[in-house]
């Protein structure tokens, strides 16, 4: 594909149009896939004159001339673009296109021509280049590993294991280390205290390709942003800090979900500290991306739930954190002199308390909706506004308020019911005081891998968060089946978890979006089909000997009834639980209503679930393969 005029676009190539011009609208009208652009990730050229944005919904790369959006060219892509990175000389751009078998495209930045296509793993994202431009690292989200692509040999040369859903990555300024953010904790969810559930960061030595993990503080989840400070001394992360040990009686003061920034000391590979991005009286829901300015002056965080940009005075933050003890436990601020034996925190050293950043952080309100990816060039910060098909351009300024412009990539989209539901689901402003959104516990409409003590079935019996895929087809809802339908659960979620009252039309829109969710093909499938082992497992699953299908009948793999399968735990008030749907169960560890098992193998063998412990080792492995393929 070559850069060309409007006629070329109509033949399936590129588009040149004036900002907000009607050309895009007519194209959008013809292809439903392009109804929304969905700008997600963004990069800016070294001279600051060209901006590149992944258009997730339009399946295209936008090339935008700055500072004015006079012309936008787009390059059509084979699948949803999830991330991009620009070579230092500005001549090549690498874009990850997500699929079960993803492709990483090398694109000529000036001509918009696709030069090469490197195959990668399942749902590739977050490409990161070595400073010398010789290697490209790509996170394979659902393979839980990282592809190392040698750009001279023109092929993938290694895979390095991460922990769970690697989703963001940054290479150290000296190129020696690759730091990878894992989205979710990989631990059992029914543990408490300092060693309970937390996401980890994977550190890869780029010479030996040896990997190590740095565990974040308890309750850290939904880690979406990672960046180095320009001196290479610190890695900063944007994520949620879930206080999942607390009963969900209130939402204020980051009581349920706090929104956090973690600073890691790179040399020591240790968390320096985790601070809350929330204010005293208003949360800053759903931090997404994080970036540092090249002069080390500012750290910026996009807040997808509150349509804001946090601009933090980096030297002031680092100086304060170096003085304070690590608060390794997300509830320390509340357990003053708590029984777990962690040092009581008072006054200004309550690092994990809302309002900690007062005086060293500005909150810049953006005019678009759903800020996600960030790019920084000089004192200019760009944030993609996912739902309004626009880019926020913020000029940072030490003395005065930051100045803000919004660059439209097309006409302001008209949201249909499903899209409106998606917007509301991700909107922290629904919540009393903006502390969290539905997506805070249900990232991408799935689950945060944590247990929460919702009060719908009594207090003191936490349940593992459920994925919302096909919830509307598998009533009743909740592990205990206390909600008759998913519709009822949606409305009680708004009322009792976001602690607000909203019009019925908003709940209906959220239903519509949740109903539109489609399963992602399992990474255990081989070219979309069951492996031979999984095929043997399928027969066992449906056999009388195993009897799994009695309670988990296809196609939803649930009989929608509650059963006592001997899984009652110490904290439970009941013995019978709703039979879970098994589609996408490969993605929703930990398992059972209290998240006690991290693998299907453990559930079936140790948990003796469905009598599967009586199978031979080989049969058990086959059954596990089948369940993981659903």
Contact map string, positions 552 to 581, toward ligand HEC, x by CB under 6 A: x----------x-x-x---------x-xx-
In angstroms, what CA-CA distances link 236 with 160, 274, 279, 291? 22, 10, 19, 8
Does position 479 interact with ligand HEC (CB under 6 A)? The reply is yes
Does position 162 interact with ligand HEC (CB under 6 A)? The reply is no
The answer to whether the CB of 502 falls within 8 A of the CB of 509 is no
Does position 184 interact with ligand HEC (CB under 6 A)? The reply is no
Where do we find the tokens 């593992």? 464
Give alpha helix (H) positions in 11-79: 22-30
Q: Would you say 65 or 606 has its CB closer to ligand HEC?
A: 606
Beta strands across the sheet bearing 257-265: 220-228, 234-242, 257-265, 270-276
Kindly indicate which of the ranges 27-35, 67-75, 134-142, 436-444 contains the residues binding ligand HEC, using the contact rule CB under 6 A: 436-444
Does position 465 interact with ligand HEC (CB under 6 A)? The reply is yes
In angstroms, what CA-CA distances link 110 with 93, 107, 150, 532, 549? 9, 9, 23, 47, 56
Number of neighbours of residue 617 by Cβ within 10 angstroms: 8
Rounded to whole angstroms, the Cα distance separating 490 from 535 reads: 37
Mention every residue, 6+ apart, whose C-beta is less than 8 A from residue 304. 285, 286, 287, 288, 370, 371, 372, 386, 426, 439
Q: Would you say 22 or 505 has its CB closer to ligand HEC?
A: 505
Contact map string, positions 210 to 249, toward ligand HEC, x by CB under 6 A: --------------------------------------x-
Does position 283 interact with ligand HEC (CB under 6 A)? The reply is no
Tell me how far, at minimum, the Cβ of 39 lies from ligand HEC, in Å: 24
Out of 73, 442, 446, 536, which residue is the one contacting ligand HEC (CB under 6 A)? 442
Kindly indicate which of the ranges 294-302, 337-345, 350-358, 434-442 contains the residues binding ligand HEC, using the contact rule CB under 6 A: 434-442
Query: Under rule CB under 6 A, which residues in 50-69 are in contact with ligand HEC?
Result: none
Rounded to whole angstroms, the Cα distance separating 575 from 596 reads: 15
Q: Would you say 291 or 431 has its CB closer to ligand HEC?
A: 431
Does position 588 interact with ligand HEC (CB under 6 A)? The reply is yes
Give the chain's end-to-end CA distance (angstroms, integer): 37
Mention every residue, 6+ apart, whose C-beta is less than 8 A from residue 545. none
Question: Partners of 620 in the beta sheet?
Answer: none
Tell me how far, at minimum, the Cβ of 496 lies from ligand HEC, in Å: 9
Tell me how far, at minimum, the Cβ of 473 lies from ligand HEC, in Å: 9
Rounded to whole angstroms, the Cα distance separating 348 from 299 reads: 21
**Tokens standing for 424?**
């509301």
Tell me how far, at minimum, the Cβ of 49 lies from ligand HEC, in Å: 42
Q: Would you say 108 or 417 has its CB closer to ligand HEC?
A: 417
Rounded to whole angstroms, the Cα distance separating 485 from 505 reads: 17
Rounded to whole angstroms, the Cα distance separating 435 from 438 reads: 11
Structure-derived torsion over alpha carbons of residues 255, 259, 263, 268, reported in degrees to the nearest 10: 60
**Size of interface with ligand HEC, in residues (CB under 6 A):** 55
**Tokens standing for 42?**
């963004």
Tell me how far, at minimum, the Cβ of 613 lies from ligand HEC, in Å: 9
Out of 86, 168, 203, 256, which residue is the one contacting ligand HEC (CB under 6 A)? 256
Q: Would you say 327 or 620 has its CB closer to ligand HEC?
A: 620
Out of 612, 622, 625, 629, which residue is the one contacting ligand HEC (CB under 6 A)? 612
Contact map string, positions 319 to 358, toward ligand HEC, x by CB under 6 A: ----------------------------------------
Residue ranges binding ligand HEC (CB under 6 A): 248, 256, 436, 438, 440-442, 452, 454, 457, 463, 465-466, 468, 471, 474, 477-480, 486, 489-490, 493-494, 497-498, 510, 541, 546-548, 550-552, 563, 565, 567, 577, 579-580, 582, 585, 588, 591-593, 600, 603-604, 609-610, 612, 623, 627
């Amino acid at each position: 594909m070559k850069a060309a005029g409007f006629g070329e676009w109509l033949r399936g190539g590129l588009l040149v149009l004036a900002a907000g011009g009607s050309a895009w609208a007519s194209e959008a009208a013809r292809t439903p896939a392009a109804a929304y652009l969905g700008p997600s990730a963004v990069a800016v050229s070294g001279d600051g004159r060209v901006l590149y944005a992944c258009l997730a919904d339009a399946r295209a790369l936008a090339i935008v001339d700055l500072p004015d959006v006079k012309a936008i060219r787009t390059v059509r892509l084979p699948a949803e673009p999830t991330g991009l990175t620009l070579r230092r000389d500005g001549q090549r751009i690498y874009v990850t296109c997500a699929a079960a078998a993803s492709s990483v495209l090398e694109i000529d930045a000036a001509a918009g021509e696709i030069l090469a296509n490197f195959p990668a793993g399942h749902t590739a994202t977050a490409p990161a280049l070595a400073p010398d431009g010789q290697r490209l690292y790509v996170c394979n989200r659902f393979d839980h590993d990282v592809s190392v692509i040698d750009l001279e040999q023109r092929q993938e040369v290694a895979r390095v294991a991460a922990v769970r859903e690697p989703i963001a990555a940054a290479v150290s300024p000296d190129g020696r280390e690759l730091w990878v953010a894992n989205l979710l904790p990989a631990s059992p969810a029914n543990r408490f205290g300092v060693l309970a559930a937390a996401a980890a960061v994977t550190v890869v030595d780029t010479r030996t390709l040896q990997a190590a993990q740095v565990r974040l503080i308890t309750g850290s989840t939904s880690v979406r942003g990672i960046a180095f400070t320009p001196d290479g001394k610190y890695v900063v992360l944007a994520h949620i800090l879930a206080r999942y040990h607390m009963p969900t009686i209130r939402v204020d003061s980051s009581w349920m979900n706090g929104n956090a920034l973690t600073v890691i000391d790179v040399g020591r590979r240790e968390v320096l500290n985790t601070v809350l991005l929330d204010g005293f009286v208003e949360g800053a829901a759903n931090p997404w991306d994080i970036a540092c300015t090249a002069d080390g002056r500012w750290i910026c965080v996009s807040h997808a739930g509150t349509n804001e940009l946090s601009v933090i005075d980096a030297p002031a933050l680092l100086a304060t954190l170096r003085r304070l003890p690590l608060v390794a436990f997300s509830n320390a601020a509340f357990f003053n002199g708590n029984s777990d034996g962690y040092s009581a925190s008072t006054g200004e050293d309550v690092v994990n308390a809302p309002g900690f950043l007062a005086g060293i952080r500005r909150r810049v309100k953006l005019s678009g909706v759903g800020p996600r990816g960030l790019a920084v060039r000089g004192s200019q910060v760009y944030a993609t506004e996912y739902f309004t098909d626009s880019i926020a351009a913020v000029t940072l300024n030490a003395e005065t308020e930051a100045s803000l412009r919004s660059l439209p990539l097309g006409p302001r989209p008209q949201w249909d019911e499903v899209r409106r539901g998606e917007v509301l689901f991700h909107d922290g402003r629904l919540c009393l005081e903006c502390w969290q959104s539905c997506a805070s516990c249900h990232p991408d409409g799935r689950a945060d891998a944590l247990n929460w003590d919702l009060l719908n079935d009594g207090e003191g019996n936490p349940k593992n968060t459920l994925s919302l895929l096909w919830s509307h087809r598998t009533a009743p809802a909740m592990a205990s089946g206390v909600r008759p339908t998913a519709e009822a659960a949606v409305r009680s979620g708004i009322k009792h978890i976001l602690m607000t009252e909203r019009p019925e039309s908003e709940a209906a829109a959220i239903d519509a979006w949740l109903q539109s969710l489609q399963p992602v093909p399992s990474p255990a499938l081989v070219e979309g089909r069951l492996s031979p082992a999984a095929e043997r497992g399928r027969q066992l699953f449906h056999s009388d000997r195993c009897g799994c299908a009695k309670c988990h009948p296809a196609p939803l793999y649930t009989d929608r009834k509650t059963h006592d399968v001997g899984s009652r735990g110490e904290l439970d008030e009941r013995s019978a639980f709703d039979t879970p749907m098994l589609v996408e169960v490969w993605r929703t560890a930990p398992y059972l209503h209290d998240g006690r098992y991290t693998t299907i193998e453990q559930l079936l063998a140790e948990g003796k679930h469905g009598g599967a412990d009586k199978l031979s080792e080989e049969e058990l492995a086959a059954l596990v393969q089948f369940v993981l393929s659903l």
